Structure formats: structure tokens, C-alpha cells
Homo-oligomer: A and B are copies of this chain.
Amino acid sequence: MTHTYQHRVRFRECDPMGIVYHVHYLDWFEVARTEALRELGVSYKSIEAAGTILPVTGLHAKYHLPARYDDEVLVETTCHLSQSGVRIRFEYEVKRKVDNALLVEGSVSLCFFDRGRSRPTPAPQRVIDVLRGESQSP
């Protein structure tokens, strides 16, 4: 399953080279994974309200071509849950909408973490079911 988030590049995201400052792609990644989960019927907010947080454990990004001010870009996201259900990895491709050129590839890994017991924990069962495709989104 691939989720696509569309974004228009903001002035504040561009640097003196006239291109998007490399760090801001990671902001888009956050929106993209939140919306990807929402589309599956999983609300990050409700996971957190139930006492499980999702700290980021790793990320990488590879920059091929720059996005520029006012460009429309597409952030394509796929999501991978680990065997144990404890870790989740989102993989991203950022494309320029006008010609589908690949601008940036990246990934962000997070860990389900029980706040009360201060340790990693499997994702809530419903989240596991949804992410493994064994359950329908509402």
C-alpha cells in the first residue's frame, strides 16, 4: 500500500540557494506517515492517548534533485511493521508533481514504546491487524 501526500513548497522552507533546505523534507515525512496511518484507520493521537509513544529511532535521506519555492511535490509513503510488531519503518519517495522526477528518497524508523513501563512494546493489536492487512480500515 502506498499513500501519497501532496504539498506545495513554502517560502520559509527555501534557503539562500533557492531550494528547499534539506531538513524540511523530514517535516513532510511526518505529515505523510500520519496521513498514511489515518487512511488505514489508525490515529497516532489515539495510540498516544492509550499510553504508547512512538519515538524515532533512525532515519536516512538521499537527495537527488532540489525542490524549489512553490513547486508541488508528492510524498509517496509505504509502511513496514517488524515481525515482533515493535518497530515500524516508513519509506518515502518525494517526486515533483509536474514531471514525476524523483527528488528525494528516505526512511524513518520508529519504535512503539510503553510510556508507563518505560520499555519497547508491540503495537496495539488493532494497529498490527490493520498494518498486516488482516483487518479493514473503518
Query: In the complex, are the beta carbons of A22 and B59 less than 8 A apart?
Result: yes
A30 CB contacts on chain B under 8 angstroms: 10-12, 23
Known contacts: A12-B27, A30-B11. The answer to whether A66 contacts B61 by CB under 8 A is: no
**Stretch in A13-21, A85-93, A119-127, A128-136 touching the partner:** A13-21
Compute how far the CA of A56 lies from the CA of B64 in the bound complex, rounded to whole angstroms. Answer: 10
As for how many copies of this chain the complex holds, the number is: 4
A50-77 vs B, CB cutoff 8 Å, 1 = contact: the mask equals 0001011111111100100110000000
Q: In angstroms, how far is the closest chain B Cβ from the Cβ of A25?
A: 10
- Give Cα distance in the complex from A12 to B33, angstroms: 13
The smallest beta-carbon distance between A104 and chain B, in angstroms, is 10
Check A59 against B56 for contact (C-beta < 8 Å). no
Nearest chain B residue, comparing its CB with the CB of A29: B23
Most chain B beta-carbon neighbours within 10 Å: one of A14, A27, A56: A56
- Asked if residues A55 and B60 are in contact (CB atoms below 8 Å), the reply is no
18 A–B contacts from the bound complex (CB under 8 Å)? A10-B30, A11-B16, A12-B15, A12-B23, A12-B27, A12-B30, A15-B16, A17-B53, A22-B56, A22-B59, A23-B27, A23-B30, A44-B70, A45-B69, A45-B70, A55-B63, A60-B60, A60-B61
